[in-house]
């Protein structure tokens, strides 16, 4: 859905420049753009003689109109790439159309086969299907109900990026069908922007994204059931402010007491969300156990045997002795009471 601009009486000896420079030069006076607006064409020769002409391009729905306003806008391209792993700038071009979806909790796999391209989705507007083996697309949205969201990247080929409010939070510059669960988790609100970008160099788009609202967003480093003296770390996703129900205001807390732990997180614009609780159980100290070691299991020829406690103190024998060892010369039932000091 780009616009073709033809310069009449094109002269290859002259220099043609557009302001703004949003034109692709195909030669012989043919130029292409997907961005509407006012333009100025500057023509000059080798001696510096120049002339200008103003004109207007209308009827273009291009990616630089940007994010769908409270709606997903999936922009499609016949070409596109990320520069390289060190300068992974997004370079889509040859804009071909768009797809709109009002579902806030977006799963692109429900809209089109990830082995194909968004141009195959029902309701796509533009050139269908996208033909290029180097095709690309991005899914953009501005405006969400205040809440905590998890974004999973289900696959990407050949490269993929995820940006939140213009900041890259995830990227992979190699093709992969491996799902990245929890590529990002955080608060989104009415001003938030999400942008997922994917390119393909082999003719198969294989890009898919899923965004899901969540309330169970506390993560544990350790176990929910602990022994006395142990603790477990509870952490909340990155945000501006934290308030745990035990009064802590840090992103993570160490839980060393039994109870229910929850956290309320908020951002700079006032969006806040309270997590589902995590229940931590600290087991009580186990009851002490007395152990007796015998030098023999039988008394022979009246030779005494020695009974020993594993503890050097806290012993009370049924013989009324309190030492760590006793000597037995007759058959009898012996009990040991050990008390932890």
Distance CA 83, CA 187 (A): 30
Radius of gyration of the chain (CA): 36
Q: How much is the pTM?
A: 0.65
Q: Does residue 72 or residue 332 have the better pLDDT?
A: 72
Confidence bin at 165 (pLDDT 50/70/90): very high
* Structure confidence by residue, pLDDT tens digits, 112-138: 887 777 888 888 877 555 655 557 788
At residue 93, what are phi and psi to the nearest 5 degrees? -160, 175
Q: What's the burial of 247, exposed, middle or buried (CB within 10 Å: 0-12/13-18/19+)? A: exposed
* Structure confidence by residue, pLDDT tens digits, 28-59: 787 777 666 788 999 999 888 999 999 887 64
Residue 201, pLDDT score: 59
Right CATH number for 63-213 from 1.20.120, 3.30.70, 2.60.40, 2.60.120? 2.60.120
Distance CA 197, CA 163 (A): 8
CATH 2.60.120 in the chain is located at: 63-213
Q: Does residue 6 or residue 274 have the better pLDDT?
A: 274
Mean pLDDT, residues 96-122 taken together: 83
**Sign of the CA dihedral running 95, 99, 102, 108:** negative
Residue 208, pLDDT score: 83
In angstroms, what CA-CA distances link 333 with 98, 272, 324? 89, 68, 17
User: 13-17, 60-64, 203-207: which range is least confident on average?
Assistant: 60-64
17 has pLDDT over 70: yes
Q: Does residue 274 or residue 113 have the better pLDDT?
A: 274
219 - beta bridge partners? 235
Confidence bin at 309 (pLDDT 50/70/90): confident
Task: For residue 141, give the 3-state DSSP assignment.
Answer: strand
Residue 82, pLDDT score: 55
The residue among 280, 218, 219, 229 whose CA lies nearest residue 255 is: 280
Write the DSSP assignment of 155-219 as a string of letters: EBSSEEEEEETTEEEEEE-S-B---EEEEEEEEE-TT-EEEEEEE-SSS----EEEEEE-S---E
């Amino acid at each position: 859905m780009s616009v073709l601009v033809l310069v009449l009486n094109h002269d290859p000896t002259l220099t043609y420049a557009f302001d703004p420079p949003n034109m692709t030069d195909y030669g012989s006076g043919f130029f292409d753009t997907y961005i509407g607006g006012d333009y100025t064409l500057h023509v000059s020769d080798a001696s510096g003689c120049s002339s200008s002409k103003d004109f207007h391009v209308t009827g273009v729905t291009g990616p630089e109109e940007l994010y769908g306003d409270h709606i997903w806008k999936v922009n499609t391209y016949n070409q596109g790439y990320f520069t390289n792993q060190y300068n992974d700038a997004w370079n889509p071009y040859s804009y071909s159309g768009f797809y709109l979806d009002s579902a806030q909790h977006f799963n692109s796999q429900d809209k089109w086969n990830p082995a194909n391209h968004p141009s195959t989705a029902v309701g796509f507007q533009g050139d269908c299907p996208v033909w290029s083996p180097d095709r690309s697309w991005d899914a953009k949205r501005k405006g969400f109900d205040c809440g905590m969201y998890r974004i999973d990247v289900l696959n990407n080929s050949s490269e993929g990026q995820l940006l939140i409010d213009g900041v890259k939070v995830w990227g992979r510059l190699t093709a992969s069908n491996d799902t990245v669960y929890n590529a990002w988790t955080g608060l989104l609100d009415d001003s938030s922007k999400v942008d997922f970008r994917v390119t393909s160099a082999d003719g198969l788009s294989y890009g898919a994204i899923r965004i899901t609202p969540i309330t169970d967003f506390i993560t544990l480093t350790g176990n929910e059931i602990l022994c006395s003296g142990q603790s477990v770390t509870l952490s909340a996703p990155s945000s501006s402010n934290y308030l745990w129900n035990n009064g802590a205001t840090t992103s993570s807390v160490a839980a060393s007491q039994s109870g229910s732990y929850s956290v309320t997180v908020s951002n700079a614009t006032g969006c806040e969300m309270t997590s589902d609780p995590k229940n931590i159980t600290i087991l009580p100290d186990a009851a002490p156990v007395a152990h007796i070691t015998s030098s023999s299991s039988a008394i022979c020829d009246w030779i005494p045997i020695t009974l020993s406690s594993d503890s050097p103190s806290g012993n009370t024998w049924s013989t009324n002795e309190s030492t760590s060892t006793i000597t037995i010369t007759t058959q009898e039932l012996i009990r040991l009471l050990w008390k932890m000091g």
